[in-house]
Amino acid sequence: MKYSYVSHLYCPKCSSTYSTKDQQQLCTCGSPLLVAYDMEGIKKNLTPDHLKDRKPDLWRYHELLPVEDESNVVSLGEGMTPLVHLPRLGDAMSLENLYIKDEGLVPTGSFKARGAAVGVSKAKELGVEALAMPTNGNAGAAWALYAARAGIRSTIVMPEDAPEITRNEVAISGADLYLVNGLISDAGKIVGSAVKDQELYDVSTLKEPYRIEGKKTMGLEIAEQFGFTMPDVILYPTGGGVGLIGIHKALKELRTLGWVKGDLPRLVAVQASGCAPIVKAWEAGERESEFWHDSETKAFGINVPKALGDFLVLDALYETDGCAIAIDDTEMLREQKHVANLEGNFVCPEGAAAFAAARRLRENGWLAEDEKVVVLNTGAGIKYPDTVDIDPIMLEKGDVLPK
């Protein structure tokens, strides 16, 4: 049996196809490329039962991933994160079946490890020696560390305001780290000219086709963890939108295989009020978004003024009857406290935004009380120590605790 049933790359805009044997970036028409598989081959050779004896990491789905030779897999044990019922928070929101898919528990502390594991592994398979990327922090941290494990050089450019810990993760991996006084879009322009001048493989969001495949495994896991049934709704904090596009792709692939049946979950793109281009486009019924000027939010990972794959995110929302919603920072940080108070989970601000969105969508009736709702917490709260303001009482030696 083959390790991977990858067949080719295709363009979702103009339908051109490309080989997976060469290093590819965007389609000649400018669109991101997506990965296709020999689904008939997988159908014949794989059933959900085969998964039972496999390791609990994302490589358990290797037939549906693009790495062809197992020896190229670069892994730190990523994947199969907990899917946990949240009864107390659910009670407070009037949602009986509220779940967290907790991506704070992967190597490097965010779901970006999934994209990096698969992206770096495929880069290794294709002979890449040096890569470069702009990042809001977490992706750069993940790619730099996975590249270090693969023996690939990396150059990472991030806004100077990105979470400080992500700088340290990049620096300690030995990558070349640059800070820019600007946004991820400014970092992207700098990387764009560097890749041309210095022959670096450009692994910017969606400029290589394989990161989506890693993030797709969140969708595969959610389905498997629910016994190959689908929840009603999945809420996802959306910046570049790769996770949402990946989850949508995963569930469609499982349906093609006949492993899940029925309607796909309604997908919800959650953004910050200070940077909500997808929400604006969805509200206007548009198929693409416009650049969001002067964007600002404490949920740094979703501060993306214009996503290259915006049309794929919007397609996923329209196709699944989903929606897009913006949450302001005050509401987000309030929800972050609720999640920790009631469920003991210190979620990242991006994840907190998705919980606040669930609360609002229940309040306005978009979510029904008994629906099965999954919120993606995309990273660990401990990566963002500055989002919590505390004022503890200072004691002197020998003091007694106030009553």
Ligand X SMILES: Cc1ncc(COP(=O)(O)O)c(C=O)c1O
**Interacting residues toward ligand X by CB under 6 A:** 110, 112, 136, 138-139, 205, 237-243, 301-302, 348, 350, 378-379
Contact set for Zn ion, span 142-201 (CB under 5 A):
none
Binding test (CB under 5 A) with Zn ion, winner from 5, 6, 9, 11: 11
Name 346's bridge partners.
none
CB atoms within 10 A of CB 185: 16
Token reading at 231: 């929840």
Q: What burial class does residue 72 get, using C-beta atoms within 10 Å of its C-beta: 0-12 exposed, 13-18 middle, 19+ buried?
A: middle
Contact partner at residue 14 from ligand X, Zn ion, none, CB < 5 to 8 Å by partner kind: Zn ion
For the chain, the distance separating the N- and C-terminal CA atoms, rounded to the nearest angstrom, is 67
C-beta closer to ligand X: residue 113 or 194: 113
Q: How far is the CB of 399 from ligand X (least distance, A)?
A: 39
C-beta closer to ligand X: residue 90 or 137: 137
By CB under 5 A, is residue 17 in contact with Zn ion?
A: no
Burial 267-285 (b: 16+ CB within 10 A, else e): bbbbbbbbbbbbbebbeee
Contact partner at residue 295 from Zn ion, ligand X, none, CB < 5 to 8 Å by partner kind: none
Q: How far is the CB of 21 from ligand X (least distance, A)?
A: 27
C-beta closer to Zn ion: residue 11 or 357: 11
In sequence order, what DSSP letters do the residues of 100-126 get, joined into one string? EEEGGGSGGGBTHHHHHHHHHHHHHHT
Binding test (CB under 5 A) with Zn ion, winner from 1, 17, 29, 321: 29
Q: How far is the CB of 142 from ligand X (least distance, A)?
A: 9
Q: How far is the CB of 285 from ligand X (least distance, A)?
A: 21
CB atoms within 10 A of CB 1: 10
What does the alpha-carbon distance between residue 16 and residue 2 come to, in Å, rounded to a whole number? 26
C-beta closer to Zn ion: residue 23 or 168: 23
C-beta closer to ligand X: residue 231 or 381: 381
Name 100's bridge partners.
84, 375
For 173-314, strand residue ranges (E) read: 176-180, 201-202, 233-237, 266-272
Contact window for Zn ion (CB under 5 A) among 14-22, 39-47, 183-191, 334-342: 14-22
DSSP-derived letter for residue 137 is S
Q: How far is the CB of 135 from ligand X (least distance, A)?
A: 7
Rule CB under 5 A: which residues touch Zn ion?
Answer: 11, 13-14, 16, 27, 29, 31
